[in-house]
Structure 1
Amino acid sequence: MVRISVDIDSCIGAGQCVLSAPEVFDQDDDGIVMVLDGEPAEPVAEDVRLAGRICPSQAITVHED
């Protein structure tokens, strides 16, 4: 299982997370990341890991449990 934490102060609104895992991430009106599911099911876990790796501001942390 994976858990997600985000540092909204670091987010620059690039939107790569939303493109990688739209079931898990969205953006608010200012473009800042919002987590829709903080503990996503395994079928989307690899998409979440990718989002964490490609986030240009490293605002997303994926915790492996």
Structure 2
Amino acid sequence: MRRLRADKGKCDGHANCQIAAPDFFDLDEDGTVEVLQDAVDESQQAEVEEAVRNCPVQALALDR
């Protein structure tokens, strides 16, 4: 199982992650990323990898 991380300090609130993987990401009241669940199993990996790739400020990471 892989672990998802977000750097709230880098987040600009574009919400690309939320669009790509709504089960994993939301925006908090300040408009920055909030990780809803950090454990990513193999069946969800492609969806989360797309969200990580689509972050324009590289605020997301998926650990191996």
Normalising by structure 2, what TM-score? 0.91
The aligned residue for residue 33 of structure 2 is 33
Q: RMSD in angstroms over aligned alpha carbons?
A: 1.0
| Structure 2 residues not aligned, in runs of 5+ | none
Give the aligned length. Answer: 64
Alpha-carbon separation, structure 2, partners of 1:43 and 1:22: 15
Deviation string 1:41-65 (CA, Å, 9 cap, x unpaired) is 332211110111110010001112x
Stretch deviating more after TM superposition (50-59 or 35-44): 35-44
Match in the other structure for 1:2 = 2
1:43 paired residue number = 43
Alpha-carbon separation, structure 2, partners of 1:53 and 1:38: 16
Segments of 4+ moved more than 4 angstroms? none
The answer to whether the 8 Å contact 1:21/1:51 transfers is yes
The two structures have a TM-score, normalised by structure 1, of 0.90
User: Contact (CA 8 Å) 1:21, 1:44: kept in 2 or not?
Assistant: no
- Percent of residue pairs bearing the same amino acid type: 38
3-state SS, counterpart of residue 40 of structure 2:
coil
